[in-house]
Amino acid sequence: MKIGFIGGTGSEGIGLVSRFAIRNMEVGIGSRNIEKSFNAAKEISENISSSGKIFSGLNSEVASESDIVFVCVPYGAQKNIMKDLVQFLVGKIVVTVVVPVVFKKGMIEVSKTQSSSAAIELQDLLIESRVVSAFQTISARDLKAINNPINSDVVVCSDDKSALNVVMDLAENIDGIRAINGGKLSNSVYVENITPLLLNINMIYKKHTAIRITGV
């Protein structure tokens, strides 16, 4: 199974690619620039000792080659970039990690989305794909510290139950992550709202926070 990353050259993409590659999974880094994706893949391969195969290419190439595709671009880029990729994502599981945040006067806020959440907007753009929302509360910094377990829960939401189960299993390949079934995709809005809260708490305490759901 190949897992591709649109915008995989950013911090969150690199962190997730590294975590899956160390579990010997086949992962692909997509970019708007082929050289940038090649260099990111090379850098990750050098940083981790694993037999997992990392491939690279333009976003369209990686989307087309992969069975599961992660969307790791800034919220503001989501709509435009998907116009060119929709055809490569038909029938596939598409995992969004996108958080619609804005930075205002030293604080972090959720930016207004056209519909209720970034994940719902993505599903509206990709009507023939199986959109799953996950990983919004897992920081790139934690993901990139590959020798440390993550020690956090990941809430996974989707309207497609089998896709949701696939992504829950995938998430638990990452050391220290427990996947929580967050129910339907419309619940993603609540998860997307937790991340700015965590970032603001990080600034106040000068610490690095994550979430655990207790009672389940």
Ligand X SMILES: NC(=O)c1ccc[n+]([C@@H]2O[C@H](COP(=O)([O-])OP(=O)(O)OC[C@H]3O[C@@H](n4cnc5c(N)ncnc54)[C@H](OP(=O)(O)O)[C@@H]3O)[C@@H](O)[C@H]2O)c1
Footprint of ligand X on this chain (CB under 6 A)? 7, 9-13, 31-33, 36, 72-75, 77, 81, 97-99, 101, 136, 139-140, 195
24 versus 87: smaller Cβ distance to ligand X: 87
Distances (CA, A) of 199 to 157, 167, 188, 190, 203: 21, 24, 18, 15, 6
101 versus 168: smaller Cβ distance to ligand X: 101
Report which residue's Cβ sits closest to ligand X. Answer: 10
Helices 11-21 and 34-47: crossing angle, nearest 10°? 50
- Pull the structure tokens for residue 98: 């996108």
33 versus 87: smaller Cβ distance to ligand X: 33
Q: From the CB of 169, what's the least distance to ligand X, in Å?
A: 20
Q: From the CB of 51, what's the least distance to ligand X, in Å?
A: 25
181 versus 202: smaller Cβ distance to ligand X: 202
76 versus 149: smaller Cβ distance to ligand X: 76
Q: From the CB of 14, what's the least distance to ligand X, in Å?
A: 7
